[in-house]
Amino acid sequence: MGTGLEVLTTGLVERGGGFQLVDGIENSDISFPDDGLSKLYDIEEESYWFKHRNVCFGHLVNKYSGGGVFLDIGGGNGVVSKALQDDGLEVVLVEPDPIGCRNAVERGVSNVFSGTLEDLPLRPGIEVPSIGVFDVLEHIDDDLAALEGFYSVLSEGGHLFLSVPAFNFLWSEEDVHAGHFRRYTKRSITEVVERVGFEIVEVGYLFSVLCIPILIMRSIPSWFGFYKVQGETVNRDHGSSGGLVSRFVSRRLKSEFNRLKSGSGKMVGSSLYLVARKTG
């Protein structure tokens, strides 16, 4: 890697292969289950969900990013950071959970900071042309304040790459268990991002094939109090165990990616992606 956290920042110490402030980090405003990252780490490499998200944002970042430092905010176990790093980007993972940081180091992410973006001590004059926030904003109570923080760090003309869960009608007990405060629509995510001062570059839906299964298997049972969160469903939900259903979904997702590249994305999906530019 070209620069590294030692050059980008000041006042950090290396511990366990990652970096943190000398005094460490104690608090975070992110709502997330205690064992969430550990469970995800075991399935991320084989999950059609994570693979598809990586492929889609690999395309979007390559399309819009001008290179330079890419901050992956709240990047968990580093599954996106590692994919972008393998594509040649200078990625810095910023993750407040020490478990996620350790997993990211084990995965091979070169630059890992244990803390929040607010804690990251960037040196004066450091340009940050790209920030990624992948399925993080829904875990933050004050999403507007979080977006204002991203805006303040980005250099002029820099890009924000964002993904969030879509549609309130897909809300279920899984969202409660995951620590979500909300789900979004194109309109609601666009409004809050533009309110901060960003210019929307591209926005659309992902995982269209999952809408009906989530509605039938999670949302509707949750409305009537029948749905119970079970930890052993993680492998099934992410398709990491293979099988006919996983292969069918993977083929549909490949078709969705081709539509994304051609600029004719789906009208619905269980997730939203957004690319925005700092213009002020």
Q: What is the DSSP string of 28-65?
A: --B---TTHHHHHHTTTTT-HHHHHHHHHHHHHHHHH-
Question: Which pLDDT score is estimated for 2?
Answer: 47
Torsion, Cα 83 116 66 64, to 10 degrees, reads 70
Question: Which pLDDT score is estimated for 231?
Answer: 59
Question: Which pLDDT score is estimated for 204?
Answer: 96
CB 21 within 8 A of CB 121: yes
DSSP assigned state of 99: H
Question: Which pLDDT score is estimated for 29?
Answer: 67
Question: Which pLDDT score is estimated for 125?
Answer: 85
Cα–Cα distance measured from residue 135 to residue 192, given in angstroms and rounded to the nearest whole number = 16
Question: Which pLDDT score is estimated for 222?
Answer: 96
Cα–Cα distance measured from residue 89 to residue 134, given in angstroms and rounded to the nearest whole number = 16
Secondary structure element (H or E) that encloses residue 161, with its range: strand 159-165
Residue 106: which of 30, 34, 45 has the closest Cα? 45
Would residue 225 be called left, alpha or beta, if left means φ above 0 and alpha means ψ between -120 and 50 degrees? left
**Can you give the pLDDT of all 280 residues of the chain as single tens digits?**
445 787 888 888 887 778 877 555 545 666 666 667 888 898 999 999 999 999 999 999 999 998 889 999 999 999 999 999 999 999 999 999 999 999 999 999 999 999 999 999 988 888 899 999 999 999 999 999 999 999 999 999 999 999 999 999 999 999 999 999 999 999 999 999 999 999 999 999 999 999 999 999 999 999 999 998 875 555 556 655 567 888 899 999 999 999 999 988 878 999 999 999 999 7
What is each CA distance from 280 to 155, 157, 196, 197, 247, in whole angstroms? 10, 8, 10, 7, 45
Is the whole model's pTM more than 0.85, yes or no?
Answer: yes
Cα–Cα distance measured from residue 120 to residue 21, given in angstroms and rounded to the nearest whole number = 8
